[in-house]
Structure 1
């Protein structure tokens, strides 16, 4: 199928062709025609399958058909995203689809006064993180009563990082006569409840089961003692120094410490996490994108927000506490039809996380090295001669909006 066959006009098809989008993905084939007919959409698809275009194309087409100018302090369409990085990338994608619509980005880490001034003129499409949108609503800088199109992208991630209360505050302010599209890679119970509040008689589009890894990702696990993880990572990184590589750490401090260790080992590395300013995060991603650094160490702040071509390897230095995040992390490689490899490191105290991941996947992860830690006896062997360490009581990182 082609985009022409989806009923798009020649101008939009030409713009998509310029973006390198010549053939719709399965989620786009299913969602775009329904959205163009005004239906609410509940889209479930694994990461890297083209969800942004699946909602962006019908949003741009629908707004362009309505010859309206946005009223001051209003937005005709609203897109909510969980992280600053993802919101920024959505804006870039939408800007590639149209030169006629005004698109405004509001996220934390940027001047709220400048953002309020932009909204004073009104906007066709507002792309926002929930926290910053609430701040602007409290200042009466934005009135959502005229918003007739709403998109929630990576809705399950917004629930994971604590935006549920913000979403509950936003929903009553929206125009009741609106079209809503909600996209996600997983469908937890809380999101099912949220969809009932936001969606009216939705079409459910599910092109791959939740927890399914992208077909072109080869993923495996190394069983390795915690104090040998860094040594193993350096050994593996040394085999593909020219590749773009993403390394995931569970905590902010762990990510920064690991980045400095890799830098001392001679790798061009940078990091992105919640303790970084927006400027630092932007510069880190830009350097990773242009290839001036080859290794990006990240927390889950980046799991849904980085869409950079050519990421050849993903390393789970620490296994995620939320098993679904494993799929999102390794989905940063093998994008746009390319092959990719993902490698997880599993220490003795991470066996429960690995089992939870395998339960979500519905299959065991291939073993690349080491022997599985089985029971407390193996855990004791791994720590023999060292003082036992207490497991961290830190909660998962909350990402600033």
Structure 2
């Protein structure tokens, strides 16, 4: 078996790897690390959960530490990711594995204030992990210098294309030096990926590991369920199995919100995470889920490739994905790093096409089992034990006319929180729209209220003159 010590990594990196409890590299790491250390371009096909992040992070850190510029901290490595969660995950890996090296790194994405990110970049970083939209925003404001980039990594390139980032990626490429090392990681090799590969990579080495295959330790089960019975069946599985941590996938943002609310009403703590949630809300929901405060995290596919949760035991496909490859990414959230996991899918009659597509992709037949019998008494007891969040304290009555006066004063100042309730609602709506994409036009400060328009009083017409 290959050991990390045989891959040519430096002592500080081997020490960091050992501190994480790893001794043997995964197949993608064993094949990718030597290629990257040699300075060659790499095209890698690897599923989520295979350890690909360390496959490019470790050799990237070593190459940058071996050739440090005399000018200090210059931005020399750029990692592009499709989602904020994945950017945060990669950034955490860079910090963890580079803890014994004199390198600085930063993570930037949309949905949060851009000003702290600009301050961080101003201090100088060697490695930047970014979503494409926020990177272009920073460059457009003159906050980032991409002229010294030596290494470019496109992580989950197929997902970036699916999310419509191809034009942003091409804009970023025009800002980079022509001479650089390029690493492209993708779960699939679609025609679009092949075209992108031709534009970016130069005589690349190809590495392919278990493409479109699910982890061996993941136990998969499919239950035939009427569409209207899915929620009680899911609640039955959670309660009867005493599941303390389960990630549930829906197709739509509205469906994620509705399901999390239904679970809450049935006494099962739940939270939704999707693109319309502000970054602060997404971060808080994920933190509560990891800590065990929230029992169920309901997510759309935006979370399928960006969540890294240690020892996640259960994943449920509440609705089958439209794209069969997304099934692999979803259930890849469990059974990670050698751990076992369970993936359950609730299949209704109208999802037979999606089910057959999954079988075709994985080249295997799955037995569809009858749904578990719902214990109504169990659900009733759980719902009765539910304690709703404390209601907000009633506000003291305001004197007549006070609200209108405050709104007019707030309209003049335009400050956050001073524009009355209508201003707050407008600000919240704008933040949600900005958080739904990585690129937020204009300001994307969390919590900044939109400036309400001041309503002008109509001028009195002068009294008509006698003719």
Give the TM-score, by structure 2 length. Answer: 0.77
CA displacement at 1:69 relative to structure 2: 5.6
Which of 185, 188, 198 aligns to 2:187? It is 185
CA displacement at 1:356 relative to structure 2: 1.8
CA displacement at 1:76 relative to structure 2: 0.7
CA displacement at 1:71 relative to structure 2: 7.1
> Which residue number in structure 1 is paired with residue 93 of structure 2?
93
Q: Which SS does the other structure have where 1:123 is aligned?
A: coil
Larger Rg over CA atoms = 2
* Cα displacement string for residues 351-395 of structure 1 (whole angstroms, at most 9, x for unaligned residues): 22112222211222332326xxxxxxxxxxxxxxxxxxxxxxxxx
Matches within 5 A, 1:2-401: 2-68=3-69, 75-99=75-99, 100-208=102-210, 210-369=211-370, 400-401=437-438
* Cα displacement string for residues 295-328 of structure 1 (whole angstroms, at most 9, x for unaligned residues): 1110011100011012111110011111110000
Residues 258/307 of structure 1: CA separation in 2 closer, same or farther (3 Å cut): same
CA distance in 1: counterparts of 2:244 and 2:283, whole angstroms: 21
CA displacement at 1:48 relative to structure 2: 0.4
Residues 69/84 of structure 1: CA separation in 2 closer, same or farther (3 Å cut): farther
Asked if 1 retains the 8 angstrom alpha-carbon contact of 2:260 and 2:270, the reply is: yes
Give the paired residue count.
Answer: 372
Which segment is superposed worse, 143-152 or 352-361? 352-361
In structure 2, stretches of 5+ residues that fail to align are: 372-434, 439-467
Asked if 2 retains the 8 angstrom alpha-carbon contact of 1:241 and 1:294, the reply is: no
CA distance in 1: counterparts of 2:52 and 2:367, whole angstroms: 28
In structure 1, stretches of 5+ residues that fail to align are: 371-397
CA distance in 2: counterparts of 1:360 and 1:168, whole angstroms: 30
Residues 11/71 of structure 1: CA separation in 2 closer, same or farther (3 Å cut): closer
> Which residue number in structure 2 is paired with residue 387 of structure 1?
none
CA displacement at 1:182 relative to structure 2: 0.9
Q: CA RMSD in A?
A: 1.6
Asked if 1 retains the 8 angstrom alpha-carbon contact of 2:276 and 2:436, the reply is: no
* Cα displacement string for residues 143-200 of structure 1 (whole angstroms, at most 9, x for unaligned residues): 2221011111111111111111111111111111111111122221111111111111
Q: Which SS does the other structure have where 1:15 is aligned?
A: helix
Which segment is superposed worse, 114-123 or 97-106? 114-123
Structure 1 runs of 4+ off > 4 angstroms? 69-72
CA distance in 1: counterparts of 2:337 and 2:104, whole angstroms: 28
CA distance in 1: counterparts of 2:366 and 2:155, whole angstroms: 28
Which segment is superposed worse, 301-310 or 92-101? 92-101
Asked if 2 retains the 8 angstrom alpha-carbon contact of 1:104 and 1:127, the reply is: yes
CA distance in 2: counterparts of 1:54 and 1:69, whole angstroms: 28
CA distance in 1: counterparts of 2:305 and 2:208, whole angstroms: 19
* Cα displacement string for residues 112-163 of structure 1 (whole angstroms, at most 9, x for unaligned residues): 1221222233310010001111111222222222101111111111111111
Q: Which SS does the other structure have where 2:345 is aligned?
A: strand
Residues 365/135 of structure 1: CA separation in 2 closer, same or farther (3 Å cut): farther
CA displacement at 1:79 relative to structure 2: 0.4
Residues 232/242 of structure 1: CA separation in 2 closer, same or farther (3 Å cut): closer
CA distance in 1: counterparts of 2:358 and 2:127, whole angstroms: 37
CA distance in 2: counterparts of 1:302 and 1:179, whole angstroms: 29
CA distance in 2: counterparts of 1:234 and 1:70, whole angstroms: 58
Asked if 1 retains the 8 angstrom alpha-carbon contact of 2:78 and 2:129, the reply is: yes
Asked if 1 retains the 8 angstrom alpha-carbon contact of 2:61 and 2:98, the reply is: yes
Asked if 1 retains the 8 angstrom alpha-carbon contact of 2:244 and 2:292, the reply is: no
Q: Which SS does the other structure have where 2:76 is aligned?
A: strand
* Cα displacement string for residues 248-297 of structure 1 (whole angstroms, at most 9, x for unaligned residues): 01111110110011111111211211121111110111111111222111
* Cα displacement string for residues 187-238 of structure 1 (whole angstroms, at most 9, x for unaligned residues): 2111111111111111101121x22111111112112111011111111111
Which segment is superposed worse, 76-85 or 185-194? 185-194
Q: Which SS does the other structure have where 1:78 is aligned?
A: strand
Q: Which SS does the other structure have where 1:327 is aligned?
A: helix
Which segment is superposed worse, 31-40 or 111-120? 111-120
CA distance in 2: counterparts of 1:5 and 1:107, whole angstroms: 36
CA distance in 2: counterparts of 1:35 and 1:243, whole angstroms: 40
CA distance in 1: counterparts of 2:252 and 2:143, whole angstroms: 35
CA displacement at 1:37 relative to structure 2: 0.4
